[in-house]
Amino acid sequence: MTQVMQRTFTLRITLSSTLILASVCALAAPKDKELAPRFNATTTGEKFTNETIKGKVVLLEFWTTWCGFCADEAAFVDKIGHELADKGLILLAIDVGESRKTVKKYLEQHPRNCKIVMMEDTNLAAMYAATVYPIYVVIDRDGFIAGTQRGAGGEEALRRLIARGGIQSADSEDSDSD
């Protein structure tokens, strides 16, 4: 009986510690309307920094291959990224905490139509306390954080988040006129 009690106690301490750590990380992340932290991100052949994104709206998507919500939302995230690229949207999908081999294998089976950034090729995951997935962050044309969404919210929520950065999508313009 004492082993069961000890396991229960250990589990409770572990869960409590995890919740406290997640709360501290969330508080440490940059807040909306703050200047976006200085960053570097590299995709295949492209480098992004605060300087190179000036005048553009950036959607950062933090995701993992094991996240079911990330997989569910990937198609419309890519669609929105492609649809709004000509309006100045840059979509960077940052995989968090996984090897290149794991991500490559996943993308062979679940292709993405966006710029993929590996965690070792950027400092963004730590800056935005990426501990739950997906996380979406929009940086406006002036380099300020226009909005953050932690967790899946669907296509309309993502369109509203991007609109806070200054880009209206055709779908949201149509729905506003109804």
Tens-level pLDDT at each residue, the chain (178 residues): 666 666 655 545 544 444 444 444 444 455 667 899 999 999 988 999 999 999 999 999 999 999 999 999 999 999 999 999 999 999 999 999 999 999 999 999 999 999 999 998 998 998 999 999 999 999 999 999 999 999 999 999 999 999 999 998 775 544 444 3
Count the residues in the chain. 178
Where are the domains positioned within the chain? 1-30, 31-177
Q: How many angstroms separate the CA atoms of 140 and 158, rounded? A: 14
Question: pLDDT value at position 33?
Answer: 76
Q: Are 56 and 141 in contact (CB under 8 A)?
A: yes
DSSP label at residue 11: H
CA dihedral sign, ordered 26, 27, 31, 35: negative
Question: pLDDT value at position 122?
Answer: 92
3-state helix, strand, coil in the chain (%, to 5): 45, 20, 30
Q: How many angstroms separate the CA atoms of 109 and 16, rounded? A: 37
- Note if the bond before 111 is cis, omega within 30 degrees: no
Which residues contact residue 166 at a Cβ distance below 8 angstroms, ignoring those fewer than 6 apart?
57, 140, 141, 146
| CATH code for the part of the protein at 31-177 | 3.40.30.10
Question: pLDDT value at position 4?
Answer: 60
Question: pLDDT value at position 9?
Answer: 55
Look at residues 136, 139, 123, 153 and name the one whose alpha carbon lies nearest to residue 63.
136
Q: Are 69 and 133 in contact (CB under 8 A)?
A: yes
Q: Are 165 and 56 in contact (CB under 8 A)?
A: no
The answer for 55, left when phi > 0, alpha when psi is -120 to 50, beta otherwise, is: left
The pTM for the full model equals 0.78
